[in-house]
A and B are shown apart, each in its own frame.
Chain A
Amino acid sequence: MRTRARNRFVAAWGALGALLLGLDPSAASTEAAALKPATAPVATPAPPPPLEPEALAQLKAMSDLLKDTARFTFKATADREQPSVNGPMLDFFSVSQVAVSRPNQLRVETKGDLHAASLWYDGKMVTIYSLKSSFYGQTAAPATIDETVLMLMDRFQMPLPAAGFLLKDPYSKMMEGVKTAFDAGDAEIDGVACRHLAFSEEDADWQVWVEKGAKPLPRRIAVTYKKIQGAPRVVSTLSDWNLSPKIAAGEFTFSPPAGAKKVDWKTSEK
């Protein structure tokens, strides 16, 4: 009796459910059919798209801000993990002062333990110089920052974790190879409210923290190299942004200090 009563109850609700869904209520008239509508109308939220529009929009806003800025300076504080041959991961820290003047001038002054070489690019030549030494390397450079940065990373194998932010269109280049993107929520970096955005590629995951509000500046980038043993990470925190800096004339042209000697600057074999 109890079972029968319950079935009748379910049948009644099934009929109501069918009505609400605009279905033929007669379909729920038998007991067998009555069991189905009680479970069917549960709405499951659609899975988020692999590339969340909101995450892309915020990366784009960051990109557009830098794209429209003719000159800017910032400080990049980087921590690079590198596996050592005897096992443990090692961290190497560096601090860079970066100056960009579009379209063809770049200066990066770096202090650190391993990656301690500074760069000058004046539209004609690009120079590398470790301030601790008396040796510099120099080569003819392409006509734009974009081409020069890509050349330095490619032919000269320079590690430039913040390189994307120097390009004329950071968004289009950074999004190459991206398979998923999502907004990981609110974050705070050095007291600045940010959005935390996460992206993944075939070989690496990366995150960018973009300042909230009218000036969506990149405040941090972190990259994890998934396919390298130990999955080393590079984190670079970007601070001291100045979007209307005064940069001295000649700042981008290298003048060798007294006694400095030019040495070989090795390129990758191709």
Chain B
Amino acid sequence: MSSGGGAIAERDVALVDLVDRLLGGGVVIAGDITLAVADVDLVHISLRALVSSVETARPPEP
């Protein structure tokens, strides 16, 4: 999918999709919502990684 190891890139995409959903999805229930700063950093790093990996992505072989 990207230059250098499709399987790794697929896992990266899935992690970005997971983090997107964990932070922005789900029903909001009252209670303490605890998110360490490190988590948010992880998301931003992952999103940047995704954008750069898909920008260099090639279409799959037919």
A is bound by B:
no
Q: Which residues of A contact B (CB under 8 A)?
A: none
> Which residue numbers of B lie inside 8 Å of A, CB to CB?
none
